[in-house]
Amino acid sequence: MEYIRRALDIENQLEESSLFLFGPRMTGKTSYIENELQKKAIVSITFLDGDTLDAFRRNPVLLRSMLGGRTEGFVIVDEVQLFPPVLLDIQHIMTHSNIQFLLTGSSARKLKKSGSNLLGGRAGIVSMHPFVWKEIRDRDSDLDSIFATGMLPKAFISKSYQTQLRNYVRGYLDNEIAAEGERRDLAVFSSFLSFAASENTELLNFSNVSRDIGMSADTIKEWYQILVDTFIGYYLRPYRKGSKRIPVNTSKFYFFDIGVARTVARMPVPSETMTEYGKMFENYIFMELKAYIDYGMTDDELYFWRTREGYEVDFVIENKVAIEVKTSKNITGKELKGLKEFMKENAVNDYIIVCRELFERTTDDGIRIMPWKLFLDSLWNGSII
């Protein structure tokens, strides 16, 4: 399969510290390692290989002998959650050498359940995301094609993207849920997953989901946590530092990929007149902002702002920028209301509407109207945050 060079760059970090590289299945962690890092590692193993996994089950300290006495360089261990006991040996090696480790995984849940301590804080944590704009900007992608394929590498590149997405969703239920040893009715969990996808980008209401699915609110909370632990979705917390208006205290939830969210919700690619089109656009901009922050381009936190009166701004990056996402090709006054209200908080320095207008402009209030491609170019060039 064609390989597209990734925006994530951790080689320099590995010279100084060990790292956990977490991320959903099929975001390209293994191919990233094979194409950009593996040749520079002194040892590289993957527990996706059954023979390797069996060998380590028979000898949990096998890694020490594989190093052959070397005390410098870095080691790659792919899908570490499939054999958490290796972390004990890794911690021993780290204590007695200058070797750094890159440890990848698609589930923090398994490591938590195994009692693993993530190397006692000796390793940093980096997230891997699906493709981002910086990686595919030269392919003349438009919103409709991105909404269709999503940004998972295999689906994005494939002509049979819908088959790839359906297989991904089935594989998630089979591999990440059933293989986790979670004792639950997968059919009911599948219904929950579909409902969660249909409510993507909305305020969370566990009681409403509970009534629709027929499970307790506590169970629904646990199931959302499974989505977080397997990196299928993220909570977005409300920005609560304003003083002029009382904000809501409920989080939102965003799927990690719009193609997966659309497939889970059993939804066709929406037309631009549909409400779902705007939700997918918002989800896509969230994905780009989240990836940019997680790839170490900034240490900032991402929030949303919404008041009890209903004023809302989609994304707030503390002290820096407030971002509203609109599908409009002609931004009018009513679409500026949320940002204008948030301006009264004096919380950030820049105010942006990301939209489908053709040209950038600035309103009399100082709000920047930015075409979405220009916004993403500016984001990945470091001009937004």
At 152-167, the pLDDT tens digits run: 999 999 999 999 999 9
Question: Span 225-245, mean pLDDT?
Answer: 86
Question: Span 89-106, mean pLDDT?
Answer: 92
The single-letter code of the amino acid at 14 is L
State how far the Cα of 309 lies from the Cα of 312, in Å rounded to an integer: 9
Looking at the domain assignment, is residue 278 inside a domain?
yes
Phi-psi category of residue 26: left, alpha or beta, with phi > 0 → left and psi -120 to 50 → alpha: left
pLDDT of residue 364: 94
User: Is the distance from CB of 192 to CB of 224 less than 8 angstroms?
Assistant: no
**Residue 181 banded pLDDT, cuts 50, 70, 90:** very low
User: Is the distance from CB of 236 to CB of 304 less than 8 angstroms?
Assistant: yes
Verify that 99 and 182 share a domain, yes or no.
no
pLDDT of residue 327: 97
The single-letter code of the amino acid at 64 is R
State how far the Cα of 189 lies from the Cα of 194, in Å rounded to an integer: 9
The single-letter code of the amino acid at 295 is Y
Indicate whether 177 pLDDT > 60. Answer: yes
Verify that 162 and 201 share a domain, yes or no.
yes
Question: Span 236-245, mean pLDDT?
Answer: 82
The residue with tokens 């392919």 is 139
C-alpha radius of gyration, the chain, whole number = 22
- State the DSSP string of 188-209: HHHHHHHHHHHTTTSBP-HHHH
Indicate whether 25 pLDDT > 60. Answer: yes
Extract the tokens encoding 363: 């309103």
The single-letter code of the amino acid at 381 is N
CATH of the domain at 40: 3.40.50.300
pLDDT of residue 123: 83
Extract the tokens encoding 26: 């099929």
Question: Span 232-254, mean pLDDT?
Answer: 86
Verify that 188 and 266 share a domain, yes or no.
yes
Looking at the domain assignment, is residue 6 inside a domain?
no
Looking at the domain assignment, is residue 370 inside a domain?
yes
pLDDT tens, 323-354? Answer: 999 999 999 989 999 999 999 999 999 999 99
The domain boundary, picked from 108, 127, 146, lies at: 127
State how far the Cα of 302 lies from the Cα of 322, in Å rounded to an integer: 10
pLDDT of residue 382: 94
Provide, rounded to the nearest whole percent, the portion of the chain with pLDDT above 90.
Answer: 70
Indicate whether 115 pLDDT > 60. Answer: no
**Residue 250 banded pLDDT, cuts 50, 70, 90:** very high
The residue with tokens 């500026």 is 336
**Residue 183 banded pLDDT, cuts 50, 70, 90:** low
Phi-psi category of residue 228: left, alpha or beta, with phi > 0 → left and psi -120 to 50 → alpha: alpha
Looking at the domain assignment, is residue 5 inside a domain?
no
The domain boundary, picked from 102, 127, 152, lies at: 127
User: Is the distance from CB of 229 to CB of 108 less than 8 angstroms?
Assistant: yes
Verify that 72 and 198 share a domain, yes or no.
no
Indicate whether 284 pLDDT > 70. Answer: yes
Provide, rounded to the nearest whole percent, the portion of the chain with pLDDT above 70.
Answer: 92
What number of helices (H) and strands (E) belong to the chain? Answer: 17, 13
pLDDT of residue 174: 67
State how far the Cα of 351 lies from the Cα of 356, in Å rounded to an integer: 17
State how far the Cα of 233 lies from the Cα of 154, in Å rounded to an integer: 19
Phi, psi of 202 (to 5 degrees): -95, 165
Verify that 175 and 65 share a domain, yes or no.
no
Question: Span 6-11, mean pLDDT?
Answer: 94
Extract the tokens encoding 33: 């390692």
**Residue 72 banded pLDDT, cuts 50, 70, 90:** very high
Residues 6+ apart with CB under 8 A from 187: none
Verify that 340 and 300 share a domain, yes or no.
yes
Verify that 121 and 203 share a domain, yes or no.
no
CB atoms within 10 A of CB 70: 13
Verify that 251 and 142 share a domain, yes or no.
yes
Nearest to 247 by CA among 347, 365, 320: 347
The domain boundary, picked from 89, 107, 127, lies at: 127
pLDDT of residue 106: 80
Structurally, the chain folds into a number of domains equal to 2
Verify that 343 and 216 share a domain, yes or no.
yes
By mean pLDDT, which of 93-97, 187-191, 213-217, 331-335 is the weakest? Answer: 187-191
Higher pLDDT, 318 or 301: 301
Higher pLDDT, 208 or 276: 276
Indicate whether 136 pLDDT > 70. Answer: yes
Strands (E) located in the chain: 18-22, 43-46, 74-78, 100-105, 123-127, 233-236, 252-255, 302-306, 312-317, 321-325, 350-355, 361-362, 368-371
Query: For the whole model, what pTM was predicted?
Result: 0.92
Verify that 42 and 169 share a domain, yes or no.
no
Residues 6+ apart with CB under 8 A from 83: 47, 53, 56, 57
pLDDT tens, 261-278? Answer: 999 999 999 999 999 999
Provide the domain limits for residue 37: 11-127
